[in-house]
Amino acid sequence: MILKNREKAAADSRSTVGVQKMSLSTFLIRYNAIIILVILIIAASGLSPLFISKTNVFTLLRQQVPYLIIAMGMLMVIVTGGIDLSVSSVAAVSSIMVAYSMTKWGLSGGGWSTWGAIVIGVGVGALFGALNGLLIARLRMPSFIVTLAMMYAGEGIAYIITKGNTLMLNNKTGGYADLVGFSTATTIFGIPVAVIFALVVVIIFFLVMKYTTFGRMVYAIGSNESAVQLAGINSKKHLFFVYLLSGILCGIAGVIITARSGNSSALTASVDYNMSTIAGVVIGGASLMGGEGTVVMTVIGVFIIAVIGNIMNLINLASYPQMVVKAGVIILAVLLKSLSSKKHG
Amino acid sequence: MAEDQAAKKSFDIEYRVEMHHICKSFEGVKALRDMQLQIRPGEIHALVGENGAGKSTLIRVLSGVHMPDSGEVKINGKKVHLHDPKDGILAGISVIYQEFALVQHLSVMENILLDEFRDRKFVNWKEMRQKAKEFLEEIGFGNIDVNARVSDLSVAYQQVVEMCKALTRKASILVLDEPTAVMTNREVEQLFKLLLKLKEKGVSIIYVSHRLEEIFQICDRITVLKDGQYVTTVETSSIDKNQLVALMIGRDLSSFFPARDCEIGDVVLTAEHIKAGRAVQDISFDVREGEILGLSGLVGAGRTECIRAILGVDKLEYGTVTLHGKKIRLGSTKEAYEHGVGFLPEDRKNQGVLLRRPIFQNITLSCQKAITRFGWIRKKKEQPIVEKYIRELAVKLASPSNNVESLSGGNQQKVAIAKMLAANSKVLFLDEPTRGVDVGAKIEIFKIINELVSQKYAVVMVSSEMTEIIGMCDRAVVIKEGRSVGELQKDELTELNIIQYAMGVRVNDTEE
């Protein structure tokens, strides 16, 4: 009798420990992206001493700014169980509208007119996001189709506005100095201002996803929307805001893209912002079925993709083999996750 | 034809189907105990019993969906072991469920000859059309166009196609599960004609239905089940409706239900002439403070749909809802919660809780306003609410930050109830509050409900278990085919009274 009780107590304590502490294998499976990133960084440092040089690190970070910002929106969308394929196109249109308003509408005087151009760029992103949100949340259309259509529409609009040309900002205007000069030259504690900005965006989204009702509802909707609705929550409103925010973030990314290079063209729509951010979010452990995924792990996922590209550039590997290696890493990361979920039944 | 000969030959044997001493449990719950069933060749045999009497389980065992834990099944006198539905089909058993297994966007011909398409590499369309036509003519429905899309057919014709498909599989035993539930009277007549034809051909038909008129019209014999046990098998001609109803009920109500002593106050919510879709035609009821009102009736009578319409989940086409003397029209559960009306959905796992979210987040899901400032969640406000409900409802858990799926069914349901209560709802709609939980948890949930009404909550409870309605409710409204057909006070709440209303043996005196 006593023995039985003791066995039971032991079993009980074991089960509570299992609940609170994570076993090593669970950790490895859930956070495999961290390990992959660490291994990649070590390997990269070994392959090329240039990798950990200050110039390379900052270049890498600066390159990733638009990806990180767009990935925050993509993460939210994916957590709700949706997808946003339109991000590259929306960022392109925003970027073009910034350049267009500065070159054609005379918003190049610096000061407030620069802010005007930025608002136009972000506003265009918001408009696309609102349209996505309306069709998906209100009219219950599948996000894949809606954002696919918006991807084509955005790219088309980008070419219509630019007539296929590159819009160059005049580097003698105050606007150029405000936008391009500020973003390329300014550093805070030696860190480029754009990188600081991306960090702030990431921190804000970390807090929003973790500590606000909105963030909690995003996860809840992705976990089971009908239950959320029956619990007395306006899930459509939240879903609309998710796509609106994704659009706004693409708008911000568009502004940054123009600010970095001082020009803008429709080619931005063909940059792999959509596929890379989706890959980053998924490598970070998010599920395309919704309900899972975190900001921190998304950042890790984005950098995994980035480091692979960067190291292969450093060792002069052509871009086509790069793609194959990227594919391998994506499969590996997701394979570990699907193996673990199979184990849990 | 081959199946004709097979059928005729088997007229010689006494029983087409024999099931003896069948037992089947699901996770420790006994669904069938020492069950038996004997079906003669060429008879229409009714299977009747209350909700949960074991009819569906018995059919699933017969058709091979479930393996019985013990007992034997004999088909045409030979012992068989059916491991899956395919074995059942090979043994000549075809089950036609309420949701047909037809491919909606294919033609009648393609559906009838589905098996042939699987077995062939090339299709001779002309021959197939001819074949399908022959099958239809044989059972007297040559007027159905073999090229028509199944989705364009009426429900009755879809059923004919389904039966035709069963015949191509040389079915000698046909099981119909509530075939007339969605049919018009004319369609029912057509179905009966077909059934009689099949009967002449020696097909044995097992007919599951709640509609007593139909059973007395068409069935030869009736087997009655109760609580997963065999009651009796009788010749239809030797019994009348009231006697049959008496056979289906008469269980002993133990002291299973905790006692309650509370004062019933004024009317809080009134619903009048609610109409919504096909399922809800005209339902009226009211509920008072400190009262549990039961909504009783057979599965599919329209109880859940009625609640959903009142709460604004589905569209309310007609009718009025009055809350505290004011007419309201709820557009969503959000508005319902804002009015202090809570809802516990019947499907716990898909609608009641978020299985893969933490317990504490589930509890505070519906009361976000109370725990946030400017949209930011304040742990200080959230934690006491979570702790309060975990303590008061005695939710057994390892940690509130574990996912709800780690809990047992009963504790999951408690979390769903906590969520509703945390939103400060005073009028509660509970749809099957004890579905899928074990007996111990059931009693605990009953105690919680009792505690709530003693605190002047008003509760509307839907339950398919009559004992639950009788044991828990102060009053019950019985719903039949989308209409409220009778109201029973506490002292009138008996199984006999409920089932007489629910099956239409008795009609409300006050109705015109």
Judge whether A253 lies within some domain: yes
Range list of β-strands (E), B376-511:
376-377, 427-431, 458-462, 475-480, 483-489
Closest CA–CA distance from residue A219 to any residue of chain B (Å): 8
Closest CA–CA distance from residue B362 to any residue of chain A (Å): 9
Q: What is the pTM of this model?
A: 0.77
- Indicate the burial class of B36 (C-beta count within 10 angstroms; 0-12, 13-18, 19 or more): middle
Contact residues on chain A for B368, CB-CB shorter than 8 A: 213, 216-217, 233
Report CB contact under 8 Å: B313, A291.
Answer: no
Q: Is B380 on the interface with A (CB under 8 A)?
A: no
Q: Is B107 on the interface with A (CB under 8 A)?
A: no
Q: Is B182 on the interface with A (CB under 8 A)?
A: no
Which CATH number goes with the domain that contains A219? Answer: 1.10.3470
Amino acid at B97: Y
Closest CA–CA distance from residue B269 to any residue of chain A (Å): 19
Closest CA–CA distance from residue B156 to any residue of chain A (Å): 32
Report CB contact under 8 Å: A232, B350.
Answer: no
Q: Which of B352, B356, B377 sits opposite A291 (nearest CB)?
A: B356
Whole-angstrom distance, CA of residue B19 vs CA of residue B204:
14
Report CB contact under 8 Å: A219, B357.
Answer: yes
pLDDT of residue A2: 38
Residues of chain A predicted below pLDDT 50: 1-20, 343-345
Judge whether A5 lies within some domain: no
pLDDT of residue B364: 93
Whole-angstrom distance, CA of residue B269 vs CA of residue B282:
17
Contact residues on chain A for B355, CB-CB shorter than 8 A: 223-224
Q: Is B416 on the interface with A (CB under 8 A)?
A: no
pLDDT of residue A13: 37
Report CB contact under 8 Å: A230, B333.
Answer: yes
Whole-angstrom distance, CA of residue B146 vs CA of residue B133:
6
Q: Which of B334, B368, B406 sits opposite A213 (nearest CB)?
A: B368
Report CB contact under 8 Å: A20, B334.
Answer: no
Judge whether A182 lies within some domain: yes
Among B357, B405, B415, the residue to mutate for chain A (most A Cβ within 10 A): B357
Q: Which of B333, B361, B375 sits opposite A232 (nearest CB)?
A: B333
The residue of chain A with its CA nearest to that of B330 is A232
Report CB contact under 8 Å: A231, B338.
Answer: no
β-strand pairing of B44-48 with B17-26: unpaired
Contact residues on chain A for B372, CB-CB shorter than 8 A: 212-213
Judge whether A331 lies within some domain: yes
Whole-angstrom distance, CA of residue B479 vs CA of residue B474:
16
Which stretch of DSSP H or E encloses residue B283?
strand B280-288
Among A17, A22, A230, A292, the residue to mutate for chain B (most B Cβ within 10 A): A230
Whole-angstrom distance, CA of residue B43 vs CA of residue B205:
6
For chains A and B, count residue pairs whose Cβ atoms are closer than 8 Å.
80
Report CB contact under 8 Å: A223, B354.
Answer: yes
289-328 of B, contacting A, C-beta below 8 A: 313
Q: Which of B354, B361, B406 sits opposite A224 (nearest CB)?
A: B354
Report CB contact under 8 Å: B365, A211.
Answer: no
Contact residues on chain A for B417, CB-CB shorter than 8 A: none
Region of residue A317 (left: phi > 0; alpha: psi -120 to 50; beta: else): beta
Closest CA–CA distance from residue A164 to any residue of chain B (Å): 44
Report CB contact under 8 Å: B351, A227.
Answer: yes
Single out the residue of B283, B62, B91 nearest to residue B169, CA to CA: B91
Sorted by where each begins, the domain ranges of chain B are: 104-169, 267-352+425-511
Q: What 3-state class would DSSP assign to B107?
A: strand
Amino acid at B5: Q
Q: Are B287 and B281 in contact (CB under 8 A)?
A: no
Show the tokens assigned to B93.
């058993």
Q: Is the ipTM of this complex over 0.85?
A: no
Closest CA–CA distance from residue A231 to any residue of chain B (Å): 6
CB atoms within 10 A of CB B182: 15
What CATH homologous superfamily does B267-352+425-511 map to?
P-loop containing nucleotide triphosphate hydrolases (3.40.50.300)
Single out the residue of B399, B397, B427 nearest to residue B412, CA to CA: B397
Whole-angstrom distance, CA of residue B481 vs CA of residue A176:
73
Report in angstroms the alpha-carbon separations of B145 from B96, B103, B130, B134, B158: 21, 16, 11, 12, 12
The residue of chain A with its CA nearest to that of B353 is A227
Q: Is B361 on the interface with A (CB under 8 A)?
A: yes
- Indicate the burial class of B168 (C-beta count within 10 angstroms; 0-12, 13-18, 19 or more): middle
Whole-angstrom distance, CA of residue B337 vs CA of residue B354:
18
Please report the DSSP string for B249-278 in residue order. Answer: ------TTSPP------SEEEEEEEEEETT
Closest CA–CA distance from residue A235 to any residue of chain B (Å): 10
The residue of chain A with its CA nearest to that of B366 is A231
Report in angstroms the alpha-carbon separations of B406 from A39, A341, B421: 34, 15, 22
The residue of chain B with its CA nearest to that of A227 is B351
Judge whether A293 lies within some domain: yes
Show the tokens assigned to B240.
């009348």
H runs (alpha helix) in chain A: 2-20, 24-30, 32-47, 54-79, 87-103, 112-133, 143-162, 174-176, 182-185, 193-211, 213-223, 225-230, 235-261, 273-283, 295-314, 319-343
pLDDT of residue B28: 66
Q: pLDDT tens string for chain B (512 positions)?
A: 444 444 444 456 788 999 999 998 876 677 888 999 999 999 999 998 877 788 888 988 998 888 899 999 999 888 888 888 888 888 889 888 766 678 888 899 888 888 878 777 788 888 888 888 888 888 778 888 888 888 888 777 888 888 888 888 888 899 988 887 767 777 788 888 888 988 888 899 999 887 788 889 899 999 998 888 898 999 999 988 878 888 887 554 455 677 777 788 899 999 999 999 888 999 999 999 999 999 998 877 889 999 999 999 999 999 999 999 999 999 999 999 999 999 999 888 889 999 999 999 999 999 998 898 888 999 999 999 999 999 999 998 888 999 998 888 889 999 999 999 999 999 999 999 988 777 678 888 998 999 999 999 999 999 887 888 888 999 999 999 899 999 999 888 888 888 888 888 776 654 43
Closest CA–CA distance from residue A83 to any residue of chain B (Å): 20
Q: Which domain holds residue A238?
A: 35-344
Tens-place pLDDT, residues A109-133: 777 888 999 999 999 999 999 999 9
Whole-angstrom distance, CA of residue B142 vs CA of residue B162:
15
Judge whether A332 lies within some domain: yes
Count of domains forming chain A: 1
Whole-angstrom distance, CA of residue A332 vs CA of residue A323:
14
- Indicate the burial class of B248 (C-beta count within 10 angstroms; 0-12, 13-18, 19 or more): buried
Contact residues on chain A for B334, CB-CB shorter than 8 A: 232-234
Q: Are A179 and A259 in contact (CB under 8 A)?
A: yes
Query: What's phi and psi for B74, nearest 5 deg?
Result: -120, 130
Whole-angstrom distance, CA of residue B275 vs CA of residue A204:
48
Q: Give the position of tokens 């088909």.
A: B75
Q: Which of B313, B338, B406 sits opposite A230 (nearest CB)?
A: B313
Identify any residues that bridge with B177 across adjacent strands, giving them in sequence order.
Answer: B208
Report CB contact under 8 Å: B375, A213.
Answer: yes
Closest CA–CA distance from residue B280 to any residue of chain A (Å): 20
Report CB contact under 8 Å: B350, A227.
Answer: yes
Amino acid at B1: M
Please report the DSSP string for B363-380 in residue order. Answer: HTGGGHHHHEETTEE-HH
Amino acid at A169: L
Contact residues on chain B for A228, CB-CB shorter than 8 A: 354, 365
Q: Is B413 on the interface with A (CB under 8 A)?
A: no
Q: Which of B366, B377, B398 sits opposite A16 (nearest CB)?
A: B398
Angle between helices B241-248 and B495-502 (to 10 degrees): 130
Tens-place pLDDT, residues A186-236: 888 888 899 999 999 999 999 999 999 999 999 999 999 999 999 999 999
